Amino acid sequence: MNRPLRRLALVGFLLAALPLATSARTPQAAPAPAAATGGYRLPPAPLQALVDAPRPPQLSISPHRDLLALIQSPALPGIDVVAQPELKLAGLRINPRTYAQSKFSFGTDLWLQDVASGKELRLQGLPAPLSIATTSWSPDQRYLAFNQVDAKSGRNELWVVDVAARSARRLTGMPLNTVAGRGYRWLSDSQRLLVQLRPEGQGDAPAGGGIPTGPNAQETKAGGGVKATPTYQDLLHNEDDARLLEHYLRAQAALVDLDGKVTKLGEPALTLSLAPSPDSRYVLRERVERPFSYTVPVENFPRRIEVLDLDGKPVKEIARQPLVDGLPTGNDAVRTGVRDIDWRGDAPATLVWAEAQDGGDPARQAEVRDLVKMQAAPFAQEPVVLAKLASRYAGAYWGNGELALVEEFWWKTRKVKEWRVAPDHPELAPKLLREGSSEDRYKDPGLPATAIDERGEQRLLVAADGHGIFRLGKGASPEGDRPFVDKVDLDSGKSERLFHSQAPYYEAPQVLLDAEGRRALTSRESPTETPNFYVRELASAAAPRALTHFPHPTPQLKDVKKEQIRYKRKDGVELTATLYLPPHYDPKQDGPRPMLMWAYPTEFKSADAAGQVTDSPYRFNRISYWGPQAFLAMGYTVLDDFSVPIVGEGSKEPNDTYVPQLVASAEAAVDEVVRRGVAERGRIAVGGHSYGAFMTANLLAHTRLFQAGIARSGAYNRSLTPFGFQSEERNYWQAQDVYNTMSPFNYADHIKDALLLIHGEQDNNSGTFPIQSERLYAAVKGLGGTARLVLLPNEAHAYRARESIMQMLAESNDWLERYLKQPAH
């Protein structure tokens, strides 16, 4: 389903800061690494405290914006949970016990809170143990539905909370199927839900015979043109896999009312998504069909897009799409035909979608790249054109028949445009509201504010005068991010600033609490104050009213020093980074400490944009087990998110000069921390995850700036990702020298410093197959270098089990202490 490029969601907030040890210390000698059969290891106590600390709850706001729902986030699951059966089929990861998408963290407590009084409202009748996957408010906010998923029992159930009675009950005993899509959606009457059920009488999953019936053959023919085929993971391998996919994807569409009555809609289908129309008279269904593919995931399979009535009878087939086994080269390439289809949020039953006019090929010249079309019920008339776009449709914000905002985006140039259209008068020419670069954070006007209407649809929040909207933005500036709220007159284009975050706080508006833009729910924090939610009167200078009171998660480390620093690369590009110093550490008195630097390279088309300041000096000093800040607890200094811009202005491609720009960025960062006296050459390590791991290996291959590197879940041989990677649009055969030069595997003989490689054995990220780490380790080992390879069982691209996280920290801590503890020479 289509969504705007950067749509502001209802508030969902998870604090990742976790408690640490009571004091920092100078790194001590590392214990010897465990033997290969020694089982999982624990890091030192200060790092264990990070992993096991409780977390603050997640929060969502009700449609009327006067109630909050809070869900307690649990501690990390154990490896016994992460290692439960999991199917990997056509890009999906499925829990076969629950007929749900694989998930290992569920809400373990749920309560409500009144915005006006701040009073906490506890609920009765919740299932035990509580295991919430998702929640959804009814449009009238009288009810809160939630999906209860219990992997041990295999239950996947729909429950509902009666808000007034403050009680919960199971809505139906028929199990949900949430393998694809959310699994349930409220209808506009707040009395029924559209659900995906497990078909009755479906039986057990088909069992493979185990004995092959023949080879698995694939064939291609000349004349099909060049197609980009990414290195997808978790694909189908044979007909047994295909039958399993059909079994687990097959869902029965149904309506469930508040009395638990179930009304089936038609026959079961291989359903990707179900969406009721705003007036609840129709259902938009997308389902896949045979033939399946062994080279692309399920979203590329043949699919049928159709409208059903509430009896489940077909009303209109919108499109029947063929298998997409590859796209033209380029990040702006899209499939042909109907794309990004969704209901128009301000109309009873009108579909909106995009259709490429250039064959989906960005290399083909075309004045109009995308048409945005609409078709209203009863879907008998031909679709009408709402907008003709010179780049790709990136979503819409719906206000009313006279007002909607349509966004378009072109990756190649990073250009974004925003148009004002009148959906009820498509014959009127659109008005251009904004044209700029997605990279230019300083000129970003913010996201349009939205609110839930009486039908449960996200709609533009239009000012009482009918001419204005509100925008909520990050407020990027040379002084750092300063979030704001603006009221914008769409006729004149003039803006009135209603709120601007002020030092010494970072206060970010989350949602406006009224249609006049007088009050907002904000999240406020400072370097030493935990983010909490507040009600702010925007026209008042008075302090906001605290709504939540989450305690400081690491009071023993509240004196961590944080500074946003700026410095220049030798080519003049402005760079930024966030410098963290342990508590009670004074560089002038104590001298330089061993340092861990961490980053993730980013491509830019503009050097000016690359040099813009990111983040804010007033953000909370969040310390988690995942990032480099964890090692503040062990006495290290940390340089986080040091800028690594890879710039290719005009017709130049950024990656044509990837290595020299990477090296120059690292040199500038090292020079700056040495100049400040917080680190010394010869006692600095560098690390990163995913593309940051790729960066780490390249820095060890092309410099001697670092004594050690920590590379987690990276890709190191770009010939194994031949149809593009990260932001690289060209394929291997178009830019062979670039691919080869950027691959640290090709320079493994140059890696003279210690490299720690960590990888999940079941990595699901495109391109970062575990073999990438295995082959680089083998190369370094065979060439006489220093490396260690740690493969984490049952782990994906992001590690999930408590034991895996503990192992990751133990390995990283050992590596840092072994190679950084000695004074520099």
Active site amino acids? 690, 763, 797
Q: What is the distance between the alpha carbons of residues 250 and 177, in angstroms, rounded to a whole number?
A: 8
Q: How is residue 403 annotated by DSSP?
A: E
Pinpoint the alpha helices (H) of 676-716: 691-702
CA 32 vs CA 41, 48, 707, 813, 820: distances in Å? 11, 18, 19, 11, 15
User: If you compute the radius of gyration of the chain from its CA atoms, what whole number of angstroms results?
Assistant: 27
Neighbouring CB atoms inside 10 A of 18's CB total 21
Cis peptide before 291 (omega within 30 of 0): yes
Q: Which residue has the tokens 């090692």?
A: 631
4 touches 398 (CB < 8 A): no
The torsion angles phi and psi of 661, rounded to 5 degrees, stand at -70, -40
Tokens of 491: 């006729």
Beta-bridge mates of residue 604: 647
Q: How is residue 401 annotated by DSSP?
A: T
The torsion angles phi and psi of 190, rounded to 5 degrees, stand at 60, 15
Q: Between the CA atoms of 296, 297, 299 and 302, what dihedral angle is there, to the nearest 10 degrees?
A: 60
Beta-bridge mates of residue 583: none
DSSP secondary structure, 441-499, as one string:
GGG---EEPEEE-TTS-EEE-B-TTSSEEEEEE----TT----EEEEEETTT--EEEEE
Query: ∠608-614-620 over CA atoms, to 5°?
Result: 170
Tokens of 561: 């020093």
Any residues with CB less than 8 A from the CB of 166 and at least 6 apart, and which? 112, 121, 122, 123, 124
Provide the CA 628 distance to its chain's centre, in angstroms.
20
Q: What is the distance between the alpha carbons of residues 339 and 579, in angstroms, rounded to a whole number?
A: 44
Q: What is the distance between the alpha carbons of residues 430 and 421, in angstroms, rounded to a whole number?
A: 5
Tokens of 201: 């009488």
Pick the closest to residue 696 from 671, 674, 715 (CA basis).
715
Q: Between the CA atoms of 552, 596, 578 and 506, what dihedral angle is there, to the nearest 10 degrees?
A: -10
Q: How is residue 655 annotated by DSSP?
A: G
284 touches 307 (CB < 8 A): yes
SS (H, E, C) 174-195: CCECECCCCCEEECCCCCEEEE
Angle between helices 658-675 and 691-702 (to 10 degrees): 80
Provide the CA 602 distance to its chain's centre, in angstroms.
16
SS (H, E, C) 187-251: CCCCCEEEEEECCCCCCCCCCCCCCCCCCCCCCCCCCCCCCECCCCCCCCCCHHHHHHHHHHHEE
Q: Which residue has the tokens 């961590």?
A: 560
Tokens of 442: 């300083």
Q: How is residue 517 annotated by DSSP?
A: S
Length of the chain: 825
Element (DSSP H or E) covering residue 405: strand 403-410
